[in-house]
Amino acid sequence: MAVVPLLVALLVTACGSGTTPGAPSATASTVGATVPGVTGTEVVVGSWGPQDGPAGFYGAIDRTLDAYFKMINDQGGINGRKIRFIYENDSYQPAKTVAAVKKLVEEDKVFALCGGLGTPNNAAVMDYVVANNVPHVWPATGTTMLAVPFKKNIYAVQLNYTTEATIATQYALDQLGTKKIAVFYQNDAFGKEGLDAVQAELKKRNLPAATAVSYETADTNFSAQALKLQTSGADTVILYAVPKPGGSIIAEMGKIGYAPKLLSSSVINDPSIFALAGSAINGMLIEAYLPAFDDTSNPKIVEYQAFMAKYAPKEQIGGFTEVGYAYGQVFIEALKRAGKELTREGFMANLDQMKNFTGSLVPSLSYSPTDHAGVKAAYFQAAKDGKFVTVTGYITLK
């Protein structure tokens, strides 16, 4: 019958007529339907981190990020879309991280991740996140594996632990008169990266290796480690530890009258450490890469504190909430630049063009299509009477 060919011809004409060669196949109203976590009115963003356990103090990061996104939504969202933020508690256990990230990607259909915390935790899900091409902006870790080897969908910001530990070692030897170093470190990829960087710098200078004293994340008593540090004869101890173990080892050293020079990774740069460590923390030098969270001479810090007062009044002004706020700033800037026609590839392409961005608490942030390493400098603060006091300007590797 002639009706069938006629219908086919009409359908072909309807689908093909008026199409310009090379034009996008999706319209503005349908593009969102093909992108995970994106609708005409919403973007779904995910994260994970501990809300309890030895690293539970870090829970403030995701809670602050959640509050930041709520502020953005109150302001109308970005490019017509509100943000729905889902964060999972993994208790700092990599096996739980794997389950949490699979839920976020496969069930919640997140568009992107922001601020997923922990070195072993990121290591446990890195291949999965890369294989699924999920953008991850500012993983909450300084592990070098975020950027080396290069991964097109992972965007580090935090100063990496190798650079950080090398700066600490150089500063101890060149500025503090250190003769012998010991390292108290978490027995995983996080702590070992800090330890390895210290040892590499000592080896480069033909100096004796540091005494290495480790702990496990499940440990609750650190008296044995404090004694090992003391008997090592080290006049300087460098810490690569999360808050509870870090604060506990400082307190234990104080109990036995061992008072070496102390330097620490930025991972415990928060007022919560003072209650954990007690008075033995006085004089400790701690690295930082964001501006001092209590420096109200800095207009950006004034804005951060005003945000906290309004949107997260129950959280503490400090390093952990400061980074959560900064995560939000960087993520939102990337979302703005991606425009209305939001895709993962477009989102990442715009991040790859970010050059010397100063619109967040990060002093300056740049990426390229081949470099997602983030910050490359740090400064030192000293612990004094329950506060951190800035004692140096920004330092880069020698």
CB atoms within 10 A of CB 131: 9
Please provide the average confidence, as pLDDT, over all residues in the chain: 92
Amino acid at 206: N
Q: Is the pLDDT of residue 365 over 90?
A: yes
| pLDDT value of residue 5 | 39
pLDDT in tens, 290-303: 999 999 999 999 99
| Burial of residue 271, with CB atoms counted within 10 A of its CB: 0-12 exposed, 13-18 middle, 19 or more buried | middle
Taking residues 120-148, report their average pLDDT.
98
pLDDT in tens, 204-215: 999 999 999 999
Are 113 and 46 in contact, with CB atoms under 8 Å apart? yes
Question: Which option is the CATH number for 161-288+380-390: 3.40.50.720, 1.10.3720.10, 3.40.50.2300, 3.30.300.30?
Answer: 3.40.50.2300
Q: Is the pLDDT of residue 21 over 90?
A: no
Give the total residue count for the chain. 398
Dihedral angle sign, alpha carbons of residues 41, 45, 51, 56: negative
Q: Give the separation between CA 229 and CA 16, rounded to whole angstroms.
A: 76
DSSP H helix total and E strand total for the chain = 12, 12
Angle 117-303-392 from CA coordinates, rounded to 5°: 70
pLDDT in tens, 63-114: 999 999 999 999 999 999 999 999 999 999 999 999 999 999 999 999 999 9
Taking Cα atoms as reference points, which of 55, 94, 381 lies closest to residue 247? 55
Pairing of strands 211-215, 181-186: parallel
Which pair of structure tokens corresponds to residue 148?
A: 């080396």
Taking Cα atoms as reference points, which of 300, 292, 195 lies closest to residue 240? 195
Q: Is the pLDDT of residue 182 over 70?
A: yes
| pLDDT value of residue 15 | 38
What is the band of 398 on the pLDDT scale with cuts at 50, 70, 90?
Answer: confident
Q: Do domains 34-159+296-367 and 161-288+380-390 have the same CATH topology?
A: yes
Amino acid at 207: L
Domain ranges across the chain: 34-159+296-367, 161-288+380-390
Lowest mean pLDDT among 21-25, 144-148, 350-354: 21-25
34-159+296-367 under CATH 3.50.50.60, yes or no:
no
Which pair of structure tokens corresponds to residue 146?
A: 């975020």
| Secondary structure letter of residue 355 according to DSSP | -
For residue 266, the Cα-to-chain-centroid distance in whole angstroms is 11
Are 125 and 153 in contact, with CB atoms under 8 Å apart? no
What's the helix, strand, coil split of the chain in %, to 5? 45, 15, 40
Q: Is the pLDDT of residue 148 over 80?
A: yes
Lowest mean pLDDT among 9-23, 130-144, 225-239: 9-23
| Secondary structure letter of residue 365 according to DSSP | B
Amino acid at 339: G
In the chain, what percentage of residues exceed pLDDT 70? 92
